[in-house]
Amino acid sequence: MAGVPSSLHESIVIVGAGVFGLSTALALKERGYSDITILDRELPPVRDGSSTDISRIIRSDYLDPFYSRLATEAIQSWKSSNLFKPHYHPSGYMLTTEVKEDIYLEKNKEILRGQKQTYRELNDVAALKQMIPGEDLKDLKYGYVNTNAGWADAAGAIRALATHLAGLGVSFITGPRGTLQSLIVDDTGKKVLGVNVAQGSPIHASRVILATGAWTARYLDDLDYHITGSAQPLGFIQLTPEEGRRLANIPVSINTTSGVFLFPPSPGDNLLKVAYHGHGFEIETSAAHGDTGKDGVNLRVISVPQRDANNAASKFFPEDADKYLRAGLRQLIPSIADRPWVKTRLCWYTETPKGDFIADYHHTLSGLFIATGGSGHGFKFLPVLGRYIADCFERTAVSDVRQRWKLPKPSPQKEKLQVNDGSRRGPPRRMLRREEQLRANL
Ligand SMILES: Cc1cc2nc3c(=O)[nH]c(=O)nc-3n(C[C@H](O)[C@H](O)[C@H](O)COP(=O)(O)OP(=O)(O)OC[C@H]3O[C@@H](n4cnc5c(N)ncnc54)[C@H](O)[C@@H]3O)c2cc1C
Ligand SMILES: *[C@@H]1O[C@H](CO)[C@@H](O)[C@H](O)[C@H]1NC(C)=O
């Protein structure tokens, strides 16, 4: 079939060593592809990548049965595979709401029942106090705990997978030599031949897979309204060992009214992470067409992280985000609500209009495949995602997967992006003011 690799020995370059790039490499390696090279700006786990830090929620609670099924399959792997199991913590996942018969929770429970999975109803504050012991909690209307869920040590799982891939013979190139500068396109302008990198000679390949997460709009023209970056705030609180012991068994908890969620303390160092599944912040940065943002004519303005800087280094934290997280923390763990953050961070979501992933060949450039669009919910799929992406790569995916993960056609109208799969809460997306963006080093 047109555009499908004709041999397992074709050279494949994957740009991006996060969830999308590494899981794709794993699946391709398992299918026998012998010549795979992964490029990244840094050694994974990449400090400012989206697939890092101490934790990610692993849950199958989705209104869309497609992702619910996929997540259930992934959780099975988190629980059983030698590679991923050490990084999975089956703490359970608690969802609370202020709304009686909240459609989001009711539909999720219906899906769980359909899958013959058990969950525990929470209907009063006494039930909440059992879940979060030793706190002076005043308020719970409704909720449930999905016990077949938990969280993963994100950096740990990524490090383990990268090491595993290296052991299987996948090559890694990181740093300036691993940093994509631009695609090499043949004279006809229709075929990708490899990548130019920030240092040294070009790297040629029969196929290039772009798995560059929130950076992707830098490298693809006219798709920035379909793949865009949003910065999402998160804060960390240092618990004492005694608090750590007391809260060790709390579930990952989300208040679905506000979107604020928090994790049990990280074992060992007792860091408690708070975030919210919301609309985040946009920035304005300029990039030249079709390359990585060097000075050029005809610049376009997009919302993406910097390529040549560590986007997680700045101490800047939007004031409104700080307040919002504090308020959410105060409702769930009031005893620590006034303690200063030991660390804050902006982490990038790669947004698509409906929160669907992208795994598809480019419309006009043959040899170029795009695997991205995590939309703030991709991590949990790490153990299985690559198989579905590899199906798209080999054009054998079932139509449901193919249709959902299609690369959107470039559209000349800059229509408003509706980034929401129904799970986002909190204030609308806000553009960081110029001075905020400067302080954030973005
Ligand atoms: C705060 C936050 C909380 C989240 N919570 C959850 C959760 O609880 N559960 C869940 O399932 N998901 C969650 N997600 C979503 C999930 O983490 C992402 O969907 C997933 O990590 C995206 O992976 P990726 O491979 O697309 O991106 P990344 O991990 O960012 O990988 C892209 C890589 O491309 C590299 N790159 C970019 N440009 C270049 C270049 N020019 N040359 C070389 N390399 C380049 C970058 O360095 C980067 O390492 C969360 C995300 C964030 C930000
Ligand atoms: C959830 O958030 C809402 C809105 O901020 C708040 O009124 C409610 O008390 C919170 N509930 C819990 C259980 O934290």
Q: Which of 137, 321, 149, 144 is nearest to 247 (CA)?
A: 137
Question: What's the CA angle centered on 394, arms 388 and 396, to 5 degrees?
Answer: 65
Per domain, the residue ranges of the chain are 11-439
CA of 255 to the centre of ligand 2 (A): 6
Amino acid at 101: E
User: Which of 96, 135, 141, 257 for mutating ligand 2's site (highest number of atoms within 8 Å of CB)?
Assistant: 257
Structure confidence at residue 2 (pLDDT): 61
Atom of ligand 2 at shortest range from CA of 327: 5
User: Which of 87, 158, 195, 212 for mutating ligand 1's site (highest number of atoms within 8 Å of CB)?
Assistant: 212
| CA–CA dist 233, 238 (Å, integer) | 17
Q: Structure tokens of 25?
A: 């490499």
Q: Which of 421, 431, 432 is nearest to 107 (CA)?
A: 421
CA distances (Å), origin 413, targets 155, 225, 284, 364: 39, 9, 18, 19
CB of 146 closer than 6 A to ligand 2? Answer: no
Structure confidence at residue 289 (pLDDT): 72
Q: Which of 290, 289, 299 is nearest to 196 (CA)?
A: 290
| CA–CA dist 94, 55 (Å, integer) | 16
Q: Which of 406, 407, 393 is nearest to 10 (CA)?
A: 393
Length of the chain: 442
Place of tokens 């709304």: 99
Phi, psi of 425 (to 5 degrees): -135, 180
Structure confidence at residue 419 (pLDDT): 58
CATH code for 11-439? 3.50.50.60
Q: Structure tokens of 79?
A: 């629980």
Ligand at shortest distance from the CA of 128: 2
User: Which of 98, 123, 140, 144 for mutating ligand 2's site (highest number of atoms within 8 Å of CB)?
Assistant: 98
Torsion of CA 140, 146, 152, 158, to 10 degrees: -130
Residue nearest to atom 7 of ligand 2 (CA): 98
CA distances (Å), origin 21, targets 18, 295, 347, 378, 382: 5, 28, 18, 12, 10
Q: Structure tokens of 24?
A: 């794709």
337 backbone φψ class: left, alpha, beta (φ>0; ψ -120 to 50): alpha
392 CB burial (10 A radius; 0-12, 13-18, 19+): buried
Percent of the chain residues past pLDDT 90, beyond the cut: 86
CA distances (Å), origin 65, targets 155, 161, 202, 382: 28, 28, 43, 18
CA of 300 to the centre of ligand 1 (A): 23
Could you say which DSSP state residue 274 is in? E
Tens digit of each residue's pLDDT, the chain (442 residues): 567 888 999 999 999 999 999 999 999 999 999 999 999 999 999 999 999 999 999 999 999 999 999 999 999 999 999 999 999 999 999 999 999 999 999 999 999 999 899 999 999 999 999 999 999 998 889 999 999 999 999 999 999 999 999 999 999 999 999 999 999 999 999 999 999 999 999 999 999 999 999 999 999 887 777 899 999 999 999 999 999 999 999 999 999 999 999 999 999 999 999 999 999 999 999 887 765 444 455 688 899 999 999 999 999 999 999 999 999 999 999 999 999 999 999 999 999 988 999 999 999 999 999 999 999 999 999 999 999 999 999 999 999 999 999 998 876 665 555 656 678 888 999 999 999 999 998 8
Place of tokens 């396109």: 185
Q: Which of 237, 239, 264 is nearest to 253 (CA)?
A: 264
